[in-house]
Amino acid sequence: MAQEVFRRTEKKYLLDKETYETLLKRLEDHMEKDRYFDSEILSLYYDTPDYRLIRASLDKPVFKEKIRLRSYGVPDDDSTAFLEYKRKYKGVVYKRRTVMTVDNARKFSKGADVGGTNVQIENELRYAFRIYDELAPRMMISYHRQAYVGKENSELRMTFDDRIIYRGYDLDLTKGIYGRDLLDEGQRLMEIKIPDAMPLWLSRILDELRIFPVSFSKYGKAYTTLLCENKLGGRDELAASDRRDIHKTGYKLVI
């Protein structure tokens, strides 16, 4: 059964291609490929019409939260997905999720009584959908992820995300992967996830390679980009550069 409750610290780092390749070599003695090493992840973020959740998050409060529907690979209506309630308090991430089909997740978000795998978490999500007016899909983000786990400590995880694509229209996981690149070419977003303190050997490697943590949110960066371009809440035709990005990454263009 899929894990439903997580408590951990998460540190994020932006790496260029050279640094990423050097780091992987330094990690060989300590990390190994996770059993789900290579995956395409699609996340649909819920928010209010005025983007209350992400605006609050960008203010860097002590407490912040996100609600999203996530799938691994492009799903259809009957595919398994994870409806997640993610909170962060004083630097510690608490993630709770329930498993249901994509279609049932749509119905659940509109108030229907559909069952997932965890009644308690579903009740927490129902409460969130009640207190946040008109909570609905507002941003679609997908990316390619490679995941590693510690050889000596299986609770230590490191993930590397590239080909991060976002869009503020066609807000449905089943519609596929297309949109605009979030990162510069060659960049990767690394996340270190661990319940306790970072091991000394890893701190030493990061220090030697001058790899420092950053404050970075995929949803936050997508939101601020579209906000600056005045493209929130509506569909714009894909620009020529967006189409090149899709072909470059090998994604199928679905409209």
pLDDT band at 234 (very low <50, low <70, confident <90, very high): low
pLDDT of residue 1: 57
Instruction: Report the predicted TM-score, pTM, of the whole model to 2 decimal places.
Output: 0.87
Q: How confident is the model over 169-213, as pLDDT tens digits?
A: 999 999 999 999 999 999 999 999 998 889 999 999 999 999 999
pLDDT of residue 249: 37
Q: Domain 5-249 classified CATH 3.20.100.30?
A: yes
- Who's near 246: CB < 8 A, 6+ residues apart? 165, 178, 238, 252, 253
Query: Which of 168, 150, 177, 155 shows the shortest CA–CA distance to 49?
Result: 168
Domain ranges for the chain, please list them.
Answer: 5-249
- 120-132 average pLDDT score: 93
- 60-78 average pLDDT score: 94
Q: What percent of the chain has pLDDT over 90?
A: 77
If one compares 253 and 178, the residue with the highest pLDDT of the two is 178
Name beta bridge partners: 99.
Answer: 82
